[in-house]
Amino acid sequence: MKEPGCLPACYRYLSRPAVLAVAGVLTVGLMLVFQWLDRAGRPVGTPDITALQLAFNREEFVAILQQWGAEGRRFFRISLFVDYVFAPVYAVFFGGLFAWLSGPAADEEPHWLQLALFSCPFGAALCDYVENSLHLWLIRDLDQVAAGGVLVASIAASIKDLLLLAVILGCLAALASRVIRRLTGRA
């Protein structure tokens, strides 16, 4: 019998309820930390972090940072370091949630599409690391912000968002499939 590869083994491990519970609690907890950092650091009525992430050009990026002021930029820098911890946590949570919702029977290997969707949040986390690293480099001196760096950071943020959207839609589709199977007696 063929040994399962690393990806199917991770798929099965991360779908365990205990792993999901810990990753879920950490995900929610870190999201609350982000909310606090945003409210404490960003002046009311100014563009949020998402607007900065998707600025795509130097002028808009610098204008948002200037609106935030020195204190807002300090809190943003802190949030970037928190995001380095958050990225693998949300990857484990969303990957595990998808694996749990869509998991094949214990004696079956996951389908390639299941493995692809399971991998999406990990790809998103890598994009998040690229984006965060570029943001740390870009915000050190507003007079020296590189337009190319802003563009690449915004592209990384967009890919991250698309990968997370894909796995969330996959979770919803897997949940709908489970419900339909149960309602029709094919569970």
Residue pLDDT, tens place only, 18-42:
999 999 999 999 999 999 999 999 9
How many other C-beta atoms lie within 10 A of the C-beta of residue 128?
27
* Token duo for residue 56: 């795509």
* Token duo for residue 182: 């149960």
Closest CA to 104 of 2, 7, 15: 15
The predicted pLDDT at position 105 comes to: 67
Residue pLDDT, tens place only, 111-134:
999 999 999 999 999 999 999 999
* Token duo for residue 38: 């945003």
pLDDT above 70 (res 106): no
Residue pLDDT, tens place only, 160-179:
999 999 999 999 999 999 89
What is the value of pTM for the model shown? 0.93
Mean pLDDT for the chain overall: 94
* Token duo for residue 115: 């493995």
Region 130-157 average pLDDT: 97
3-class DSSP string for 27-75:
HHHHHHHHHHHHHHHCCCCCCCHHHHHCCCCHHHHHHHHHHHHHHHHHH
pLDDT above 90 (res 159): yes
The predicted pLDDT at position 187 comes to: 62
The predicted pLDDT at position 1 comes to: 46
